Structure 1
Amino acid sequence: MMSKPYQIRRWAVLLVTSFTIGLVSCKEDRDPAARPSLNIPQVYDSVGYRFNSEPLQPLIQQFARLVEEARKGGQRGTYVSEESLNAAFTQGNFSLLSVTTPYYASRLQAQNNGFFAELSKASGGTFYPFDRSWEGGVYGSYLFDEYGLEMGQLIEKGMYGAALYNYALSLTKGTFTPATADQILYVYGASPMFYNSDNSTFYQNPDQLMAAFAARRDDATGKGLYSQNRLAFITLQAALQEGEDYNTYRDEALAAIKLNWEKINAATVINTIHASTSILNSTGLTEQQRADVLHLISEAAGFLHGWRTIDAGNKKITDSQIDELLALLNAPYDRSASVYRFVTNTAEELPKLSQAVARIQGIYGFTNEEVESFRRNYVADQAR
């Protein structure tokens, strides 16, 4: 017969064993795909946004200074030095150089044929697409190199991807907190209010940078790219506020933001190609209209070129697809451009523009209705 103390010890062992088995069983029965439910607010939490975004303001201010310096070349007889452009790119405690992809920085700064050097050589001169006997110059109200490519657009629009988007990606590495979401939102160009408008007449802090282009492509029905990114940012912030258990929501929201950002870029390329095509299909073009075409195609080339060498895991378009599109725009990355031919040999060159739109549509899966809608600037059309 067992003693009473021995019986107590035996029951205790059985009880602990049963409890342990129960825990293991619960873990084994749990669905590994299950995740906690995330409460997604209606609005973005603005508390802390100003404080968190303040350290990034010098970067955006420096970007504005570089763009302003480049635009001076559009004034007839005004010389812009390569040194002044490079200074705006490299100087400051938070330089543009520090956030730009190495590839694009090399294209900007290359001696003799870099974008800064080419803009400087063209400044102060006069350009005429039917007689390209000089280094380039002002035509209409824009500054072009001798091939009809507007270097100012390659600088400005190219850095939307090569510097701003590239920097936003870097913010997601390391410690990822709600403050990080605020900073990504700031670099994207929107505020916590998500006005869906770049109209400074109506709003003190309207959308800027890529968010401004997102607003122009959004019809305000709640289904457009601007609206999709608004929801993605709200979801990202909510997931980060909840903590590590909500990392799946965080990662999904971040993936949506990146894809929408890229789609907005692509939609704007289509918009500029639509606009240039419409002008070229007109009759009796004026010199300013021809200049407008070269400007628009240069803008499209800038938006595309800036995404070249962005990490393949953070973009949908491939570098080879970018190269193909740049070639269709007569602005190849690896040889001299011939953008001027769109206005001097229109019948021969015009089909390339529709081919470029079709390629972009295929890459991003845009519907025919979406491609058609990208013609419009909804902020202007809806007066919002």
Structure 2
Amino acid sequence: MSKSYQIRRFAILIVTGFTVILASCKENRDDSLRPSLNIPQVYDSVGYAFNTESMKPLIQQYMTLVSEARKGNQNGQYVSEESLNSAFTKGIFSLQSVTTPYFASRLQAQNNGFFAELSKASGGSFYPFDRSWEGGVYKSYLLDEYGLEMGQMIEKGLLGATLYNYAMSLTNGTFTTATVDQMLFLYGGNPRFLNSDNSAFYPNPDRFMAGYAARRDDGTGTGLYSQNRQAFITLQTAVQKGEDYDSYRDEALAAIKLNWEKINAATVINNIHASYTMLQAGQLDDNKRADILHLISEAAGFLHGWRTVETQNKKITDAQIDEVLTLLNAPYDRSAAVYRFVTNTDTEATKLTDAVAKLQGVYGFTNAEVESFRHNYVADQAR
């Protein structure tokens, strides 16, 4: 072995060793070597209005689509598939452009897409014990022939498939304080973090998933709303401080993702609790039956919207989503049978408790948490 070769080999070993040391230091930076972060008590609102202005056309399109779908809840009111699809695809900032491809396909599929099914049901009438061919209005809800409320599949599904999906896509590029503001806007919150969706008390209350977070939060400062408030403040502060604080940024972002998803699941559980309680109470009339079908459809919509969201952005798997949707009699890959909850209660009701147990297992909710999800704390506490 030549002397020059030995020198080169020794030099390579030194460089390799130095690289390993640097990598080790980088890994440890997230623990004892990282700088401390002084987290303020409030979210910095400077720039929020400007940074979120570009998001407003998207939200306007969402509200336009929801409003169009809700027209079908009126007896004799026809809603065209074309008008729904137009609200989804048109505008300065279309919903279609930021919705998961899977969910967009479920909305727009010819003949059996959510838009088509809602349109076919509109103008008709529905009765669970003698179902018409295409469905229709039952009390104040427009249901398809299987008792599934397509308006809720659309409205609640888009909260995950569009708003959450788009918020997460923003984190893939250059991460700035504007990104944080835009995520907060899509979440439905604002820098004041009111912990209330009550428009009677506030001119700009929480909405979308932030509004549901407020309903699930008992106001003690430890609930999901409060946890996400702290995570957003931490995220904003870390981004403001720069790359030396990236570990704090990444931890806060992970917390926001999980909390956002947990709030969605907690609201699904809330809907299931309410429908199961009515079923168990017995003495169902048409108003209660309609409410049950509405609640279960809403739960299915909330959950279905997370199907095919990228795996790095959610805890629940598509297979687990499919299991719960099947228990709700609203499977993703075949016709629903939601009506059976009110026509065959004795055999169907236990599916609802099984669905809650599945979600509890996925997210590790305690029994006390699952019980607390029965509440709308905004209403209970009049806040």
Mapped to 1, the partners of 2:172 and 2:276 lie a distance apart of 41
Matches within 5 A, 1:223-302: 223-302=222-301
Report the CA distance between 1:212 and its aligned residue. 0.2
The corresponding residue for 2:131 is 132
Report the CA distance between 1:284 and its aligned residue. 1.6
- Mapped contact 1:59–1:95 kept (Cα < 8 A): yes
- Mapped contact 2:121–2:142 kept (Cα < 8 A): yes
The TM-score, its normalising length taken from structure 2, stands at 0.92
Give the alignment's Cα RMSD to 1 decimal.
1.2
Counterpart AA for 2:276: T
Mapped to 1, the partners of 2:190 and 2:132 lie a distance apart of 47
SS at match of 1:138: strand
Q: Following superposition, which runs of at least 4 residues in structure 1 exceed 6 angstroms of deviation?
A: 27-30
- Mapped contact 2:125–2:132 kept (Cα < 8 A): no
Matches within 5 A, 1:45-124: 45-124=44-123
Mapped to 1, the partners of 2:76 and 2:132 lie a distance apart of 17
The corresponding residue for 1:9 is none
Mapped to 2, the partners of 1:283 and 1:223 lie a distance apart of 36
The corresponding residue for 1:18 is none
- Mapped contact 1:232–1:253 kept (Cα < 8 A): yes
- 1:111-145 CA distances to partner (integer Å, 9 max, x unpaired)? 00000000000000000010113200000110000
The corresponding residue for 1:180 is 179
Mapped to 2, the partners of 1:166 and 1:313 lie a distance apart of 11
Report the CA distance between 1:283 and its aligned residue. 2.4
Report the CA distance between 1:261 and its aligned residue. 0.1
Report the CA distance between 1:373 and its aligned residue. 0.4
- Mapped contact 1:326–1:333 kept (Cα < 8 A): yes
SS at match of 2:329: coil
SS at match of 2:264: helix
The corresponding residue for 2:321 is 322
Mapped to 2, the partners of 1:330 and 1:201 lie a distance apart of 36
Percentage of matched positions with identical amino acids = 75
Mapped to 2, the partners of 1:133 and 1:126 lie a distance apart of 7
The corresponding residue for 2:170 is 171
Mapped to 1, the partners of 2:207 and 2:300 lie a distance apart of 20
Mapped to 2, the partners of 1:282 and 1:367 lie a distance apart of 25
Mapped to 2, the partners of 1:284 and 1:306 lie a distance apart of 33
The corresponding residue for 1:312 is 311
The corresponding residue for 1:150 is 149
Mapped to 1, the partners of 2:375 and 2:197 lie a distance apart of 14
- 1:352-373 CA distances to partner (integer Å, 9 max, x unpaired)? 0000000000000000000000
Mapped to 1, the partners of 2:41 and 2:326 lie a distance apart of 44
- Mapped contact 1:127–1:134 kept (Cα < 8 A): no
Report the CA distance between 1:285 and its aligned residue. 1.1
- How many equivalent residue pairs? 359
The corresponding residue for 1:10 is none
The corresponding residue for 2:364 is 365
Larger Rg: 1
SS at match of 1:281: helix
Mapped to 2, the partners of 1:164 and 1:83 lie a distance apart of 23
The corresponding residue for 2:353 is 354
The corresponding residue for 2:216 is 217
- Mapped contact 2:279–2:342 kept (Cα < 8 A): yes
SS at match of 2:137: strand
Counterpart AA for 1:148: G
- Mapped contact 1:178–1:237 kept (Cα < 8 A): yes
Mapped to 2, the partners of 1:110 and 1:304 lie a distance apart of 19
The TM-score, its normalising length taken from structure 1, stands at 0.92
The corresponding residue for 2:41 is 42
SS at match of 1:143: strand
Counterpart AA for 2:48: Y
SS at match of 2:77: coil
The corresponding residue for 1:7 is none
- Mapped contact 1:326–1:332 kept (Cα < 8 A): yes
Mapped to 2, the partners of 1:298 and 1:200 lie a distance apart of 25
Counterpart AA for 1:51: F
Report the CA distance between 1:195 and its aligned residue. 0.1
Report the CA distance between 1:204 and its aligned residue. 1.1
The corresponding residue for 2:9 is none
Matches within 5 A, 1:4-19: none
Mapped to 2, the partners of 1:282 and 1:190 lie a distance apart of 36
Any gaps of 5 or more consecutive residues in structure 1?
A: 1-23
Report the CA distance between 1:282 and its aligned residue. 1.6
SS at match of 1:292: helix
- 1:84-111 CA distances to partner (integer Å, 9 max, x unpaired)? 0000000001000001000000000000
Report the CA distance between 1:333 and its aligned residue. 0.3
